[in-house]
Amino acid sequence: MGTSADDRDTRQLWDDAAFLRRAAALAAARGQHVRDISRAAGMSHDYLSRPAPRNGRSIEALLHIAAVLEIDVCELIGIEHGKPPKPRKPPADAETLLHMITDRVSSQSRESSPEQRE
């Protein structure tokens, strides 16, 4: 079974395995198990021990878990608060597409300018 472009892009943005490890470490640091954190956050007992569903994890769930752990959601998802995430270079196909669109818009703009028609 193939992997769609959307699936590849999502994996680049979200490392679910790292999230699960971080959640387990945060729970253990508080002397709790991820099952307890999941239940206290209103999720199923295995929410923090199984891979994310196909459509990802909801921000609402992440906010509830962060509240139970008494931490900022940025810490939970692995972003240093106050620092933007490191920029990622777009995949080559996206970069090529962006250039194609930019070139097309540029040429259409030149074709439709009043100076060109006179």
pLDDT number for residue 90 = 58
Please, are residues 75 and 27 in contact by the beta-carbon 8 Å criterion? no
Architecture in CATH for domain 5-82: Orthogonal Bundle (1.10)
| Cα–Cα distance, 30 to 75 (Å, whole number) | 15
pLDDT number for residue 80 = 74
pLDDT digits (tens, 9 = 90+) for 39-91: 999 999 999 999 988 888 999 999 999 999 999 998 898 887 666 666 666 55
The pTM assigned to this predicted structure is 0.59
Amino acid letter for position 61: A
Please, are residues 101 and 112 in contact by the beta-carbon 8 Å criterion? no
Q: Please report, in angstroms and rounded to a whole number, the separation of the first and last CA atoms in the chain.
A: 56
pLDDT number for residue 8 = 46
Q: With 60 as the cut, is the pLDDT of residue 16 above it?
A: yes
pLDDT number for residue 77 = 87
Give the tokens for residue 105: 């818009």
**Other Cβ atoms within 10 Å of 41 Cβ, number:** 19
pLDDT number for residue 100 = 72
Picking from 78, 37, 40, 73, the residue whose alpha carbon sits closest to that of residue 58 is 73
pLDDT digits (tens, 9 = 90+) for 36-45: 999 999 999 9
pLDDT number for residue 115 = 57
pLDDT number for residue 12 = 53
Domain boundaries, the chain: 5-82, 88-118
